[in-house]
Structure 1
Amino acid sequence: MRGRQLSRAAICLMTAATAASTTACGSGGEAAVRPPAPPAGDVAAHRDGDEQAARKAALDAYSGYLAASRTASRRSDPHAPELSRFLADPLLTRVRVAIRETKEHGAMRIGTLTSDPTVTAVSLDSVPATVEIQDCLDATGYRLVYVKDRRVVPGSAGKRYLATATATRYPDGRWLINSGAAHRDQPC
């Protein structure tokens, strides 16, 4: 009988000790509280949502860049404030120099530039995050003309060609186009 009482006492002590240690680990100030890990589907959905948001922001910046550069070119204003809303260096400086040089030669751009951009790559893990854009620009209705008489500058006829650009997310959260190239030798 005494043996049973000792084993019951031992079981009670072990149970009490186990309960006390479990409670102590979870209630102390030094214990790390971790939220439950989201299900794998939630992580993928969040990642997909971030990627879609980046695509949209990059395409918005690209469209803004094209519109701002057309407006600045039409006004022959290389320092148009809307340029810096959508562009960052080194592309911002290249666009400003091109507009200034066109102005110095007595010319300006008029007409319509048609764009059909698509995102070709999204890299949210790179520092900074980037989105690559490919576009088929139709410049057949976009003319370089002399300011004086609006005659078309010889050799400046537009055509359809491939263009590429990179949108980069800056520390303030804005997506800006900071590099781009017109591949006039590659029709689309």
Structure 2
Amino acid sequence: MRTRQSRRWEIYLLSLALAVGAAGCGTEPEAANRPLTGRAAAPATHSAEAEKEAEKAALAAYSGYLDASRAASARSDPSHPALARFLADPLLTRVRMAILDAKEHGAMRTGKLVSDPTVVSVDLTARPPTVEIQDCLDASGYRLVYAKDRKAVPGTRGGRYLATATAARFPDGRWLINGGAAHQDQPC
């Protein structure tokens, strides 16, 4: 039973390290937390410069997401304000729930997570405009530990694996990470 819970923690918390889900009750107005849709979503055509700007903004949001999730996980704080600055639902809610689950079990994340993201596609004509990101995460130095004594939670592991994320442009112009997955079965 203990191994089953450890596996569950591992799945939840490693998802923090990349795309694993969620949004939730942020401080932004409700309209600002929904992707653009309809005619306002994107111009009919876009330039290579617009694509490069979207890539840059999406990668900045992704980097902010990883930093915010690491900070929130290290403090066992599912309400950490930086999460809502870089994440949107459904990923924001999933990340918050994973942090809350770890906190309820007396665990937290510690160490360093190494990221090497690349943009694999940009679709500025989509509703909402999206950027797909692929990353090779190195979580070998990023551990799930008990907060009380900093001992590793049994059954958790690190390693290098593929992660994917989706960034969407929201009505206020921000690019937020709203989807993603950690593919621990796919080493990189």
TM-score under structure 1 length normalisation: 0.75
Deviations 1:12-68 (A, max 9, x none): xxxxxxxxxxxxxxxxxxxxxxxxxxxxxxxx9x70110000000000000000000
Q: Distance in 1 between matches of 2:177 and 2:114?
A: 18
Letter in 1 for 2:155: G
Q: Distance in 2 between matches of 1:91 and 1:148?
A: 28
Gaps of 5+ in 2: 1-44
Deviations 1:119-178 (A, max 9, x none): 000000111100000000000000000011100011112010000000000011000000
Q: Which has the larger radius of gyration?
A: 1
Q: Distance in 2 between matches of 1:149 and 1:79?
A: 24
Deviation at 1:184, TM superposition (A): 0.3
1:178 maps to 178
Greater relative contact order (CA < 8 Å, ≥ 6 in sequence) = 2
Give secondary structure in 2 for the equivalent of 1:167.
Answer: strand
TM-score under structure 2 length normalisation: 0.75
Give secondary structure in 1 for the equivalent of 2:78.
Answer: coil
Q: Distance in 1 between matches of 2:67 and 2:156?
A: 20
1:82 maps to 82
Q: Distance in 2 between matches of 1:161 and 1:127?
A: 30
Letter in 1 for 2:73: S
Deviations 1:65-121 (A, max 9, x none): 000000000000000010000000000000000000000000000000000000000
1:155 maps to 155
Q: Distance in 1 between matches of 2:67 and 2:147?
A: 20
Letter in 1 for 2:179: S
RMSD between aligned residues: 1.0
Corresponding position: 1:60 with 2:60: yes
Alignment of 1:73-152 (within 5 A): 73-152=73-152
Give secondary structure in 2 for the equivalent of 1:181.
Answer: strand
More helix by share: 1
Gaps of 5+ in 1: 1-43
Q: Distance in 2 between matches of 1:157 and 1:134?
A: 21
Give secondary structure in 2 for the equivalent of 1:121.
Answer: strand
Give secondary structure in 2 for the equivalent of 1:108.
Answer: strand
Give secondary structure in 1 for the equivalent of 2:47.
Answer: helix
Q: Distance in 1 between matches of 2:164 and 2:157?
A: 20
Percent sequence identity over aligned pairs: 72
For these two proteins, the number of residue pairs brought into alignment is 144
Letter in 2 for 1:62: Y
Letter in 2 for 1:170: F
